[in-house]
Amino acid sequence: MDPKKLDYFTFYEHPENDTSWALSMGIDKKVYIGLCMEFTSGGIAQLYNFDTEKEKLNHLADIAEITGDDPASGRATQGKIHFSLCPASDLKMYGSTHATTAPVGEPFWDPYSMLNDGYKYFEGAHLYYYDSKNYDVVDYGVIVPRQGVPLLTLSEGAERFFGVTYPLAHLFVCNMKGRGIIDLGKVSEHYPISMVNYKDKYIFTSDSYGQIIKVDAKKLKVDYTGVFLSHPNWSDGRLTGWMCDSVVGPDDSVYCCGYLNNRLMRFWPEGDEVRFEDLGYPLEEPIDANIIRILALSFDTNSNLFHILATDKGSYMMSYNIGQGIIKNHGLMKKDGLNATGWRSAIDEKGRVYFADVGNIPVNLWRYDPNK
């Protein structure tokens, strides 16, 4: 890849934070990023946005400060914002907090054994929002006691959030203020990591074997469809067919990828059924690398599904045109000795693709510009 096509912006204000999983484009056209500190005991997550015009990172909130959960308490800390940043039409960006960071001074923290511990437990996942009109952050308090919420999706039409708990993997709903919580039960052996709102009518996710789960956004009926995403031949689907990312395409299909799978897939509701298609991975030219997984799905305005292809040689920026059915390789992403990769992405009005680091410390926000 021509290095001119790739830019990065380093989170120098918080150089010890170590990963970034949550990234979403706001209605205000700013990129919102959750900056985690999950590998350092007592670490605290931070909320940022990036002004795409001024090319500036803006620190918005220290998660410990807005939640009032003091890291000196001895409990597991508010160290993570996972796949949970939800843009709303009123220019708010909602999010939830997640639990994997160990308490101060502890090298390791087990979320299962600590669920009922009297001292080192996690207080619970908070629901909060950043208001880009008032430049204010509001915390609604704990919505799930003693568990994190690694996955959150907003259905404004149903006026509900849909979320998943960790470690117990229960699906739940709550209203826009984190109240009226309804537990819809355990939906997976391991917690789902991708969920998509389909036209405010359905919410789709998968269990850890790749079974597609359809939820009626208003009636809250949970349908285990019996339709499974593809998985490698050497696997029974467990944690390989597991849906890793998903996005609704311009053809009204949900495009998705598996956790350890080198295939693009799509599915769509048809009456009471869910139809599924394995698209394979139709490369124009083969890649001299072992493919690990597909990540960070986002559509541009020309029906190109941009995504990251993670391999043993590094990560490639790729795009799949749903009309032509061909995947284009835009190149291996390396710059200034750094490997670029990410788990979620967003595209701005100029067609530039944004994603944030999982692998470099300090963390960077990356931008790929196909127009250069």
Q: Is 280 left (phi over 0), alpha (psi -120 to 50) or beta?
A: left
CA atoms of 110 and 37, how far apart (whole Å): 16
**Cα–Cα distance list, 103 to 58, 74, 145 (Å):** 27, 6, 17
Direct distance between the N- and C-terminal alpha carbons of the chain, in angstroms, rounded to an integer: 11
| Peptide bond connecting 167 to the previous residue in cis, omega within 30 degrees of 0 | yes
63 Cβ neighbours under 8 A, 6+ residues apart: 44, 45, 46, 47, 69, 78, 79, 81, 97, 126, 128
**Domain count for the chain:** 1
Neighbour-count burial of 192, counting CB atoms closer than 10 A to its CB (0-12 exposed, 13-18 middle, 19+ buried): buried
CA atoms of 262 and 294, how far apart (whole Å): 6
- pLDDT at position 73: 94
Tell me the CB-side half-sphere exposure of residue 179, using CA atoms within 13 A: 2
Do the domain assignments include residue 352? yes
Contact 205, 170 (CB under 8 A): no
Domain residues for the domain of 335 are 3-186+281-368
Do the domain assignments include residue 19? yes
Do the domain assignments include residue 193? no
Angle at 247 between CA 261 and CA 39, to 5 degrees: 65
Sign of CA dihedral 122, 217, 302, 284: positive
Do the domain assignments include residue 241? no
CA atoms of 116 and 123, how far apart (whole Å): 11
**What is the secondary structure of 42-76 as a DSSP string?**
T---EEEEEETTTTEEEEEEEHHHHHT--GGGSSB
- pLDDT at position 69: 96
**What is the secondary structure of 295-307 as a DSSP string?**
EEEEE-TTSEEEE
Do the domain assignments include residue 223? no
Contact 163, 153 (CB under 8 A): yes
- pLDDT at position 203: 98
Do the domain assignments include residue 274? no
Read off the CATH number of the domain in which 346 is found: 2.120.10
Do the domain assignments include residue 237? no
Place of tokens 């790929």: 368
pTM as predicted: 0.97
Do the domain assignments include residue 268? no
- pLDDT by residue for the chain (372 residues), tens only, comes to 999 999 999 999 999 999 999 999 999 999 999 999 999 999 999 999 999 999 999 999 999 999 999 999 999 999 999 999 999 999 999 999 999 999 999 988 999 988 989 899 999 999 999 999 999 999 999 999 999 999 999 999 999 999 999 999 999 999 999 999 999 999 999 999 999 999 999 999 999 999 999 999 999 999 999 999 999 999 999 989 999 999 999 999 999 999 998 899 999 999 999 999 999 999 988 898 988 999 999 999 999 999 999 999 999 999 999 999 999 999 999 999 999 999 999 999 999 999 999 989 999 999 999 999
- pLDDT at position 285: 86
* C-beta pairs of 115-121 under 8 Å, 24+ apart in sequence: 115/146, 115/147, 115/167, 116/146, 119/74, 119/75, 120/74, 120/75, 120/76, 121/75, 121/76, 121/146
